Structure 1
Amino acid sequence: MLALQSLILIMLSFQYLQHTKTSRLLNHWRISLQEHRQRAYWHIEENRELRSALRAEKAHIEQLQRQVEILKALLPVV
C-alpha cells in the first residue's frame, strides 16, 4: 500500500512539474506574441508616416516641375 501511495505521489509530482513547464512556456509565448504585435504596430505606424512623407515629396516635385515649366515659358526663345 505504501508503494502504491509513493508511486501516486511520484506521478503527481511529475504532472505538477510538467504543468509548471507548460505554464512557463505558454507565458513565454504570450509575451513573445505581445512583443511581435507591438513591433507590427510600430511598423504599420512607420509605414504610414513614410507614405505621408512620400506624398508630400511628390507634391513638392510636381510644384517644382510646374515652376520650371512657367520659367521656361517666360524665357525668350534663342
Structure 2
Amino acid sequence: MSMWEAVSTGALLMMGVILLVLLLQYLRLRELWKMALGCQKNTRWARIWEMENRELRSALRAEKAHIEQLQRRLVILRELIPAG
C-alpha cells in the first residue's frame, strides 16, 4: 500500500466517521425538536386552561354576589310580610 492509498483510505474512514457523527446528531436533534413541539403544544393548552379558569372564577364570584343580593332581598321581603 502506497502512501497516497493510505492517506486516501484514512480520509475515507474519517469522512465515514464524520458522516456517522452527523447522523447521530441529526437523530438527537430530531428528538429534541419533537420534544420542543410537544412542550409548545402543552404550553398553549396550559394558557387556554388558565384563561378558562380565570373566566370560571370570575363567573363564580359574580354568581356568589348575585346569591348574596337575592338573600338580602329575601330578608327584606320577609320583614315586609306580616307574621301570620
Gaps of 5+ in 1: none
- Give me the whole-angstrom Cα distance separating, in 1, the residues matched to 2:61 and 2:11: 74
Gaps of 5+ in 2: 1-5
Matches within 5 A, 1:22-61: 22-61=28-67
- Give me the whole-angstrom Cα distance separating, in 2, the residues matched to 1:24 and 1:57: 49
Which amino acid is 2:67 matched to? I
Total equivalences in the alignment: 78
Please list the CA deviations of residues 43-74 of structure 1 after superposition, one character each: whole Å capped at 9, or x if unmatched: 11011100100001001100110111011101
Which amino acid is 1:18 matched to? L
2:60 is equivalent to residue 17 of structure 1: no
Structure 1, 25-34 or 46-55: larger mean CA deviation: 25-34
- 2:75 equivalent in structure 1: 69
TM-score by length of 1: 0.88
Which amino acid is 1:73 matched to? E
TM-score by length of 2: 0.83
Query: Bigger radius of gyration, 1 or 2?
Result: 2
* Same amino acid, percent of matched pairs: 40
